[in-house]
Each structure stands twice: as C-alpha cells, then as structure tokens.
Structure 1
Amino acid sequence: MQPQPNSHLLRHGRFSQTGRAYLITAVVHQRQPIFNDWKVGRLLVAELKRAHEHGWVNSIAWVIMPDHFHWLVQLEQCTLARLMQSIKSRSTLTINRKLNREGAFWQTGYHDRAIRDGEDLLPFARYIVANPLRAGLVEKIGDYPLWDACWL
C-alpha cells in the first residue's frame, strides 16, 4: 500500500472537542466501489451504529457511497482519532472477512470539518443525504438504501 500524497496533512491542526459536531469523510482504498453491494455497506452501517450506541458519538446523518462515506456526528465520549481508528479497523475486519479478501480496505487518513458553534446542522445533513442524487445513483433519495438522518 502506498501512502496518499499529503495524507499526513489531514492530521495537521486536528482537534477533538466533546460536544462539537464534525463532518467526516473516509475513502475506500484505491476508490474501489465496494459499497455498490449494499449488503457490504450494511456492515459499515453496523459500525457507525455501534459507535452511536456506545455513546462515543451522537450520529446526526450519514451516507455510504460506492467508494466512500460521509458522517455528521457530535463527539461525545471519544476523540476523532479513536473513533475513526475503531470504525476503520473494525469495518476492515468484517468486510474483508465477508468478501474473503485481505489487506488495506481504507485509504490512509480521513477528512474532517469541525462545525462552528451555532452553525445550523441541517444544510450539512442535506448535503450528506443528497450525495446519491448528485452522483446520479438514484432519482429519489428514498430509493437509496445506505443513508439516514436523525430527523427521520
């Protein structure tokens, strides 16, 4: 596995703050569209749900695209680094086992954007759940199986 150019810069200035909302994006290694199989995507959903149920985050909205995911969370009892290490390592194990494969599953690092205090979360959630529409995967969001938002 070759490191992504400048992936180390994603960590520069990263700060985890309890109670703050973050928009997180992680990409599958070599942008393989593994989540075209929605049953494989459900394995990742189980890990997102697990983090929410453990109280690490308050999960606000998420979408799993064929080769990446977006997740809007409010940090509770976890740092960004610990959260993403857990999500990526646990999902790698279960997905690789399901697909009978080995090796890297996720690209190195992840992108996060801290949401400012008082900033409305709804536009971020709408951006997330509309990804399948913008990508032309479906004509109605209700036809896409791998998304959710706390307002529904």
Structure 2
Amino acid sequence: MPSPELRKGRHSMQGAVYAVTVNTRHRQALFRDASMAEVVREQLRYSDNEGSSQTHAWVVMPDHLHWLFTLDQGELSACLRRFKSRSARAINQVRRQSGAIWQPGFYNHRLRDDEDLRGQARYIVANPVRAGLVADVHEYPHWGCQWISRHVGIDGS
C-alpha cells in the first residue's frame, strides 16, 4: 500500500523537471536480466514519444528505476501510472507471467529553477558506481543521458 506521505505536497507542474524513483515489487532484482531492463528503456521512450515526458537521464538498477524528465503534459501521477502499467504488461509478456512488477507509489523531487539539472543527471547515472555494481558508469549498460556520451566521462572529460 503506498504511503500517504509520498503524496504530501505533490503538485504536478507541466514544464517542471522531476527526479523520480520507482521500485520493483518486494525490491525484486528483475533488471539483472538485460531484456527486462531494455523493456523499461523502451517504455521511457514511449512516454517521450507520446508527449508525456522529455527524458534527460535514467538508470535502471537491479530493483528500481531513477528517471529525470520534464513533465510535458498531464499530471505526474498519471504519467507514472501509464509508464508503470505499460512496462508491467510488457515485462510480464516477456517473462510469460502475470502480476505486479512495481511497488505502489513512487518517490519524486521537483527540481527548482536554481538546481543544477546536469549535476542531477550525473548523480543519477552514477548510481551503479555508488551501489558498487561497477567501477565506472561506462561499464554499466542500463543508463542514458542527453548530455553524457558513453564515450565521454560523466564529468564531461
């Protein structure tokens, strides 16, 4: 059951940038399977293509997703509900299973105008390094950022 605390103060603002974290149900490490992580990546693209979001950075960790995006239309909760629903159906189809994939709810932070968007993006894509999964983010396959090339360091060098 999602905590009401997650919704306190949540106000959707079109054109605002959000950093969102979505956990798998029971923190199951589904995304150690590269094909499951790719499904999530495809659904992020779908959200962008349908006009709901403009993705800036993302990383699919073994049991959760970090997603930095501009909310282009609609409500934040509706955008996440559509993403979670579509990705769950697609993941279940690949797994030939049924059932919940994501925990109810999500964590979000709306970036203020004075916050460093690129710094937040670097922070997000560096999650696999901080988690000890890899020594260098370029060794980790499940991330993307509009400002960081896979051939350039996350600090731009």
Give the TM-score of the pair, scaled to structure 1: 0.93
1:84-118 alpha-carbon deviations (Å, 9 max, x no partner): 01110001101011112221111010000010013
State how far apart, in whole Å, the 2-side matches of 1:138 and 1:38 are. Answer: 15
**Matching residue of 2:103:** 107
Please point out which of 79, 84, 100 is paired with 1:83: 79
Q: What SS class does the counterpart of residue 13 from structure 2 fall into?
A: coil
- Residue aligned with 2:67, SS: strand
Runs of 4+ in 1 over 2 A off after TM superposition: none
What is the distance in 2 between the residues matched to 1:100 and 1:8?
A: 33
Over the aligned positions, Cα root-mean-square deviation in angstroms equals: 1.1
Counterpart Cα distance in 1 of 2:74 and 2:119? 25
Deviations 1:10-44 (A, max 9, x none): 11221110111110000000000000011110001
- Alpha-carbon separation, structure 2, partners of 1:80 and 1:104: 20
Bigger mean CA deviation after superposition, 74-83 or 33-42: 74-83
Q: Distance in 2 between matches of 1:56 and 1:118?
A: 24
Q: Percent identity?
A: 41
Q: CA deviation at 1:8?
A: 2.1
Cα offset, 1:62, TM superposition: 0.3
Which structure 2 residue ranges, 5 or more long, are not aligned? 149-157
What SS does the aligned partner of 1:112 have?
A: strand
Aligned to 2:143: 147
What's the CA shift string for 1:37-80, capped at 9, x where partnerless?
11110001101011112221111100000000000011112321
Q: 2:119 — aligned with what? A: 123
Stretches of structure 1 that go unaligned for 5 or more consecutive residues are none
Aligned residues: 148
